[in-house]
Amino acid sequence: MTDFTPPTRRQLLTMIGKAGGAAALYQAMTVLGHAAESQFRGPPQLTGARPGARVLVLGAGLAGMLAAYELTKAGYAVQILEFQDRTGGRNYTVRGGDTITELGSTQKVQFAPGNYLNPGPWRLPYHHRTVLHYCQELGVELEHFAQLNHNAMVHSKDAYGGKPQRYRDLYVDYKGHVAELLAKALNAGALDTAVTVEDKARLLEAMREWGVLDKAMTYSKGLKVGTLRDTLQTKVWETIGFYADHTMQTTMFQPKGGMDHIGKAFAAKVAHLVRLNTRVTRIAQDHAGVTVNWTDTQTGAAGQSSADWLVCTIPATVLGQIDVQVSDAKKAAIRALPYGNSVKIGLEMKRRFWETDYAIYGGHSFTDQPIGLISYPSGNWFGKGPAVLLGAYPFGTGDNPFSLGGYMLSAMSPEKRLAAALEQGSVFHPAEYKAEFLSGASVAWSRMPWILGCCAAWTEDSRAAHYQNLVSLDGRVVLAGEHCSYYGCWQEGALLSSLDAITRLHQRASAA
Ligand SMILES: Cc1cc2nc3c(=O)[nH]c(=O)nc-3n(C[C@H](O)[C@H](O)[C@H](O)COP(=O)(O)OP(=O)(O)OC[C@H]3O[C@@H](n4cnc5c(N)ncnc54)[C@H](O)[C@@H]3O)c2cc1C
């Protein structure tokens, strides 16, 4: 028999949905618009720009560079203004020799040649068709990103005596406990009004197989790592359910050698159009065109650029502090949009002990400590020499313990972050973690001066009140980027939003 306190209905439904109902859950979510497939139907067919028509694009992240790429093909004269000394925006990879500049600190990255950290985007789901399309078109080599690894671990301070457990064991255990419970309810007739007699028999048989139950329909043959109470009270089930989310499902990909290969591939097409080190300070428009004021961040000189139309991909956190001549409703939308935070920490280790000593090849080990998780590299398996693993990745707006970790780590100096990451990550690999450590690097997104956050964090209420106002064409100005999409915090959203914005802009420009 299983040692358990009966879960509430809500807990039970959530557990079943997480464990066995991904497809059903997905259908329901799709109806609600939460897990809709990408609307990408191929690149836009924009042709026939008026001769001499000019477009200014603000920001050289993926949204800005894609806009420039497609608008140039359509015949527009495009210029991009970019704050930083590099293109790519959040599409960013750091390697040995790079400098990371945050508000209040700089770090010199010391990784060995070939090693890297993707501080921002790092994985591409199979259904992000826009990203995958442009990777193919621009020749970006993709490799497998190991997302779910049954042999990686889950750790909770309050469960299983605080000892990390292999995901595969917890998953079997979890299924067993839930299956036993459901079988009990079925056999007690508690669900007789919900299932037919035939379906009840089938469901019992399914539960026996799914939950590895014995003849008496109890989970006696299983591993029994812990109790159902362990799973419920510590919310380990949320970690288990993570992989059921539509955007977290396999297959996943990553660009070989670093995520910035996508940005570099776009830059190969549009870099000649970009003015780097150019901080936009004011955006104005009238019936004749748009005018943008900027400061050269290297010389301090002020400058001005003008055009007929403008695509602005500057994140709302920064745009909200700039004088922008748009409607009050759009200004309100820009200012109403909060951003979440995230910290990623790369730890270079002397050798791949997680592979040689633990048989872990890619995937994530989760913990309820502030670091959130550690993740093992998907590239160069079996490689000799130093390798970089992801030593922390808390994420969100700080409304739960997991996302609070991002704020805790970003409040620390880079040195203290490394010490915290080493201490907390040691729970998974106590003998090796500190002993094999060579060097580390971190990015706290709330401290990156050109974005001051990680990604837009829409709520249902803020979307209802402001989304249409944010994305609508305003005279000669349109906004684009991750924050102007339903695919928040994905490159897919940045690209889709860009295609949508330039298609509408082209229609207006053609009609003007
Ligand atoms: C921690 C993290 C993890 C993520 N994980 C994933 C993932 O696994 N997969 C995925 O697909 N996506 C992921 N994303 C999301 C993805 O990075 C973004 O959706 C996408 O890169 C945003 O592109 P963008 O062009 O909209 O914005 P950005 O890339 O932010 O581009 C905006 C540009 O505007 C510039 N700018 C800012 N202010 C000014 C100014 N005043 N003047 C001129 N220019 C200015 C900036 O320097 C920047 O280059 C992640 C993001 C983060 C931060």
Per residue in 64-104, pLDDT tens?
Answer: 999 999 999 999 999 999 999 999 999 999 999 999 999 99
Instruction: State the closest ligand 1 atom to the C-alpha of 119, by its place in the atom list counted from 1.
Output: 1
- Considering the domain architecture, whether residues 355 and 398 belong to the same structural domain is answered as yes
- Considering the domain architecture, whether residues 281 and 332 belong to the same structural domain is answered as yes
Would the CB of 280 count as within 6 Å of ligand 1?
yes
- Considering the domain architecture, whether residues 128 and 255 belong to the same structural domain is answered as yes
Q: What residues contact residue 41 under an 8 Å CB cut-off, 6+ apart?
A: none
Residue 395 included in any domain: yes
pLDDT per residue as tens digits for the range 357-414: 999 999 999 999 999 999 999 999 999 999 999 999 999 988 887 789 999 999 999 9
- CA-to-CA distance for 79 and 56, rounded, in angstroms? 5
For residue 499, the CA-to-ligand 1 centroid distance in Å is 16
pLDDT of residue 22: 33
Predicted confidence band at 232 (pLDDT cuts at 50, 70, 90)?
Answer: confident
- CA-to-CA distance for 71 and 46, rounded, in angstroms? 7
Cβ–Cβ under 8 Å, residues 107 and 91: no
CATH number at residue 238: 1.20.1440.240
For residue 259, the CA-to-ligand 1 centroid distance in Å is 12
Residue ending a domain, among 447, 479, 501, is: 447
pLDDT above 50: residue 8: no
- Considering the domain architecture, whether residues 386 and 496 belong to the same structural domain is answered as no
Residue 486 included in any domain: yes
pLDDT of residue 330: 98
Neighbour count for residue 120 (Cβ, 10 Å): 24
- CA-to-CA distance for 50 and 312, rounded, in angstroms? 21
pLDDT above 90: residue 130: yes
Query: For a pLDDT cut of 70, what percent of the chain falls above it?
Result: 93
Judge if the upstream peptide bond of residue 99 is cis by omega within 30 degrees of 0. no
Predicted confidence band at 33 (pLDDT cuts at 50, 70, 90)?
Answer: very low
Task: Please state the length of the chain.
Answer: 512
Beta bridge partners of 144: 253
- Considering the domain architecture, whether residues 72 and 127 belong to the same structural domain is answered as no
Would the CB of 63 count as within 6 Å of ligand 1?
yes
pLDDT of residue 12: 46
- Helix, strand, coil share (%) of the chain residues, nearest 5: 35, 20, 40
Count CA atoms within 13 Å of residue 36 on its CB side. 13
Give phi and psi for 438, each to the nearest 5: -110, -60
Residue 8 included in any domain: no
Give the global pTM.
0.93
Would the CB of 279 count as within 6 Å of ligand 1?
yes
pLDDT per residue as tens digits for the range 314-352: 999 999 999 999 999 999 999 999 999 999 999 999 999
DSSP symbol at 61? B
Residue 205 included in any domain: yes
Is 464 strand, coil or helix? helix
pLDDT of residue 240: 83
Residue ending a domain, among 217, 242, 267, is: 242
Neighbour count for residue 167 (Cβ, 10 Å): 22
Would the CB of 90 count as within 6 Å of ligand 1?
yes
Q: Is beta strand 105-108 parallel, antiparallel or unpaired with respect to 395-396?
A: unpaired
Q: How many domains does the chain have?
A: 3
Give phi and psi for 128, each to the nearest 5: -85, 80
Mutate to test the pocket of ligand 1, among 90, 275, 410, 483 (most ligand atoms within 8 A of CB): 90
DSSP symbol at 162? G
Would the CB of 490 count as within 6 Å of ligand 1?
yes
Cβ–Cβ under 8 Å, residues 487 and 287: no
193: left (phi over 0), alpha (psi -120 to 50) or beta: alpha
Give phi and psi for 442, each to the nearest 5: -140, 155
CATH number at residue 432: 3.90.660.10
Q: How confident is the model over 184-201, as a mean pLDDT?
A: 97
Q: At what angle do helices 62-74 and 260-270 cross, to 10 degrees?
A: 30
Would the CB of 502 count as within 6 Å of ligand 1?
no
Predicted confidence band at 126 (pLDDT cuts at 50, 70, 90)?
Answer: very high
For residue 455, the CA-to-ligand 1 centroid distance in Å is 8
Q: Which residue has the higher pLDDT, 283 or 401?
A: 283
For residue 33, the CA-to-ligand 1 centroid distance in Å is 23
Predicted confidence band at 239 (pLDDT cuts at 50, 70, 90)?
Answer: confident
Query: For a pLDDT cut of 90, what percent of the chain falls above it?
Result: 84
- Considering the domain architecture, whether residues 316 and 215 belong to the same structural domain is answered as no
DSSP symbol at 249? P
Residue 269 included in any domain: no
For residue 223, the CA-to-ligand 1 centroid distance in Å is 44
Please name the amino acid found at residue 39.
Q
- Considering the domain architecture, whether residues 301 and 354 belong to the same structural domain is answered as no
- Considering the domain architecture, whether residues 348 and 486 belong to the same structural domain is answered as no
For 25, the enclosing helix (H) or strand (E) is helix 22-31
Mutate to test the pocket of ligand 1, among 489, 492, 498, 502 (most ligand atoms within 8 A of CB): 489
* Cα–Cα separations (whole angstroms), residue 56 to 60, 259, 497: 11, 26, 17
Q: How confident is the model over 411-424, as a mean pLDDT?
A: 98
pLDDT of residue 36: 61
291: left (phi over 0), alpha (psi -120 to 50) or beta: beta
Cα angle: 314, vertex 482, 450; to 5 degrees: 35
- Considering the domain architecture, whether residues 209 and 317 belong to the same structural domain is answered as no
Would the CB of 451 count as within 6 Å of ligand 1?
yes
Residue 316 included in any domain: yes
Residue 11 included in any domain: no
For residue 15, the CA-to-ligand 1 centroid distance in Å is 34
Would the CB of 123 count as within 6 Å of ligand 1?
yes
For residue 62, the CA-to-ligand 1 centroid distance in Å is 7
- Considering the domain architecture, whether residues 409 and 361 belong to the same structural domain is answered as yes
Would the CB of 60 count as within 6 Å of ligand 1?
yes
DSSP symbol at 141? -
Average pLDDT, the chain: 92
Would the CB of 183 count as within 6 Å of ligand 1?
no
pLDDT of residue 512: 85
Give residue 91's Cα distance to chain centre.
Answer: 11
CATH number at residue 295: 3.50.50.60
- Considering the domain architecture, whether residues 345 and 474 belong to the same structural domain is answered as no
Would the CB of 366 count as within 6 Å of ligand 1?
no
Residue 393 included in any domain: yes
Domain extent at residue 309: 54-83+277-337+459-511
Predicted confidence band at 231 (pLDDT cuts at 50, 70, 90)?
Answer: confident
Q: How confident is the model over 50-59, as a mean pLDDT?
A: 98
- Considering the domain architecture, whether residues 477 and 363 belong to the same structural domain is answered as no
Q: Whose CA is nearest to atom 20 of ligand 1?
A: 491
Predicted confidence band at 7 (pLDDT cuts at 50, 70, 90)?
Answer: very low
Both ends of the chain: CA-CA distance in Å? 75
Instruction: State the closest ligand 1 atom to the C-alpha of 393, by its place in the atom list counted from 1.
Output: 1
Count CA atoms within 13 Å of residue 146 on its CB side. 18
pLDDT above 80: residue 466: yes
Q: How confident is the model over 30-56, as a mean pLDDT?
A: 79
Dig out the tokens for 278 from the structure.
């150019």
